[in-house]
Amino acid sequence: MLRIKLVFWIGLALLTGLWLAAAPGVFAADGLFPLRTFMLQYSGLLAFSMMSVAMILSLRPRWPERRLGGLDKLYRLHKWLGIGGLVLSITHWLWVEGPKWAVGWGLIERPPRGPRSPIEDPIAAFLAGYRGTAEDVGEWAFYAVVALIVVALVKLVPYSVFRRLHRMMAPVYLVLVFHAIVLTEFSYWTQPVGIVLAVLLVGGTYAAVISILGRIGAGRRVAGEIIELTRFPGVHSLEKLIKLGPGWPGHQPGQFAFVTSDPGEGPHPYTIASAWDPASRRIKFITKALGDYTSKLGDRLEVGQSVTVEGPYGCFTFDDDCPVQIWIGGGIGVTPFIGAMQARAWQGATADKVIHLFHTTAEVDEMAFDRLQADATAAGVQLHLMIDARDGRLTGERIRAAVPDWRAASIWFCGPEGFGHAIRKDMAAHGVPIASRFHQELFQMR
């Protein structure tokens, strides 16, 4: 989390610095309307830069995924950029309309307009000819962006509806590219701020075209077939065993993939719950009935059905030098640990670390618990199973009481975000170096 916060705020600061270097006259602006001219450029620059980076990140690029700590972190940054772009777009719109309202209400007077200097540069003159059009389409694109981002943030909107509407961001973004090119202060383009904006324009435009063509992640898709379905009714979960075709590069425990079983519904992200054996080419996913789509998966899927698997993604892979690891899986968040235990047993790495797995759940399914215990025993992992109604809430104090060497341990958490925050805060208060030893999977991709 700290890393993506730094990326967000450092990026914002750098853009601000580049803009101030290009527009030092903002400090000498005398009156609301002269200031308005500068603030329109500044707010528009920041809003469009955020939307451009968000568009680029929607391609699920590998390089920033590794640097940011996983696709889940990259998507969290994508979400923050969307929110930031929304706030700054509204700010930009208010700078457009607010002074006009103030004049209409008699609060201020519009300063007299002097004659405009002739535009000598042919490119600047060409762009100026489209100024009115750019303003008109930009206003309507702004309304569309606000609506689409709000829909993306409201989780009550069904995923299928969200997905279809969210894809409209790409063509709307292309309209805003036209708006930005025409209305950006022409002198910026020969300065560092304009060069950065141009790079973002090109990258965002490429990403938008890829999105419109439905080619995001196309190079990482592999065909598969469901060969087994196992239901765990006590915990409302479904296990899917899939035989993959050629092309899967293999995966590490803790990674996830996007699975498409219904092209109309599109891909959904699921954590991989199995080790990779290139001889069998089988991959396992466990899904819990939590939403409008996953609650109906048991009725929609059948053995022999074709699916598409895209990935692998994520950096929640248990790589560290700590002699002790504490794994915490809340509810369906136990899934990455199942895959990790199977990998340890298959690789014979049962004595390299002391590992404690804490699995907390509000629901009971004896078959699921028996399989979890069998995986833990085979992997040399000490399982601490906690049922909420019987054992109460898992706390940092209870973890420290159960793990004598907790000071030497790293912590790997997958579960509800609020639960993870409580454990993180508690462990930090007891001296655990959270920045390097607390790893949390932000599995809420929306």
Domain limits, the chain? 2-212, 221-313, 324-441
Helix (H), strand (E) at residue 37: helix 32-57
Least confident window among 114-128, 242-256, 298-312, 397-411: 114-128
CATH architecture of 2-212: Up-down Bundle (1.20)
Q: Which CATH superfamily is domain 221-313 in?
A: Translation factors (2.40.30.10)
Residue 8 CB-density burial (10 A; 0-12 exposed, 13-18 middle, 19+ buried): middle
Q: How far apart are CA 341 and CA 357, in angstroms?
A: 10
Structure tokens at 148: 């689409």
Residue 431 — very low, low, confident or very high, per pLDDT cuts 50/70/90?
very high
Residue-wise pLDDT for 46-76, tens only, equals: 999 999 999 999 999 988 888 888 898 899 9
* Count of residues making up the chain: 446
What is the Cα–Cα distance from 417 to 365, expressed in whole angstroms? 24
Hey, what are 307's tokens? 């699916």
Per-residue pLDDT tens digits for 6-21: 999 999 999 999 999 9
How crowded is the C-beta side of 294, counted as CA atoms within 13 Å? Answer: 18
For 421, the token pair is 């925050």
Euclidean distance between CA atoms 367 and 167, whole angstroms: 41
Residue bearing tokens 């060069």: 195
What CATH topology corresponds to 324-441? Rossmann fold (3.40.50)
pLDDT band at 114 (very low <50, low <70, confident <90, very high): low
Find out whether 118 and 185 touch, Cβ atoms under 8 Å. Answer: no
User: What is the SS3 assignment for 126?
Assistant: helix
